[in-house]
Amino acid sequence: MTPANTSNAAAIASKRDKRRQFITPEGVDLELAIASSGLRFAALVIDLTIIVLLLIALTLLTVWMEFGGAGNAAKIIWLLGFFILRTFWFILFELGQRAATPGKRIVGIRVVARDGGRLTADAVIARNLIRELEIFLPLTFLGAGATEDLVGWGTPLAGAAWTLTLGFFLLFNRDRMRMGDLIAGTWVVQAGRARLDRDLGSPSAADEGLRFTDAELGVYGVFELQELERVLRQRELRLIEQVAATIRTKIGRSVHEADEVFLEAYYRQLRARLERGLLFGKRRADKYAKD
């Protein structure tokens, strides 16, 4: 084998080593690429940079308020802003639909549940609270102790060792998991950036000959609609075939049309049904919710 072939084989093997497969609750076999440690570090740096810039802006605001005679109020506002940014920045963004902070979105990664289910609030909170133990708490205690001359030269070294040990935990496991990911049951994966060449919501001529009853559309809710849109935007033929087969089995439909045509028609009609339901105050969260 030539050096070039050896290099290509190694690259392919490395790429496959980063991919993970899991079965969703619908029985669909999904394949995701684990985010590299470099991407995760870059996302963290971006998020921390944004947080620091916001704190600088908040500091300038409080200084201006102090000159205006509102010293106590300014201190309270600064402490409240610092607490919210440090505690809820990662949690609130990862609880959103994209499951990613601004830093993660910029580098193209997101958080998912390792069991293939929905990412829960408990998992997001758990993985981010562990970050307090990994980074923020040791640095906070060291900073406070150094300010008041309560720590010796060995304490900063111990704190740095603690932070580095937990912070670099992801370098020593093949799934690139932080301690928080291990405890919360999550992965950080590369987010697909495929675009549609047309709007999924636009009516199609195929819809005229492919209509679904309320009973067929009623088996799914908002969550499944979002997942179906994600599948259509990725445009992976194997995944489209699996999801189409799953839905056909679920609603008892025979195969009479192309999988992508079937899925797009089902997506549009399910979306229209859910939007009509919202007009009457109804919102079906997922397939387990009752109408």
The pair of three-digit structure tokens given for residue 6, joined into one six-digit string:
């050896």
Spatial neighbors of 99 by CB under 8 A, at least 6 apart, are: 110, 111, 112, 119, 124
- How far apart, in whole angstroms, are the C-alpha atoms of residue 58 and residue 50? 12
Check residue 157 and give its pLDDT: 65
pLDDT tens by residue, 212-257: 888 888 888 777 788 888 888 777 788 888 888 888 888 888 877 8
Strand partners, 69: none
Is the pTM higher than 0.85? The answer reads no
Check residue 50 and give its pLDDT: 95
Check residue 237 and give its pLDDT: 80
Angle, vertex CA 12, rays to CA 8 and CA 13, nearest 5: 115
Q: Which residues of the chain fall below pLDDT 50?
A: 1-16, 193-199, 205, 279-286
- How far apart, in whole angstroms, are the C-alpha atoms of residue 84 and residue 130? 17
**DSSP code of residue 117:** S
- How far apart, in whole angstroms, are the C-alpha atoms of residue 38 and residue 181? 16
Report domain extents, the chain. Answer: 16-190, 205-279
Check residue 150 and give its pLDDT: 53
Q: Count Cβ atoms below 10 Å from residue 227 Cβ, excluding itself.
A: 18
Q: Minimal CA–CA distance to 48: which of 90, 95, 110?
A: 90
DSSP per-residue string spanning 152-183: -THHHHHHHHHHHHHHTGGGGSTT---HHHHH
Amino acid at site 146: A
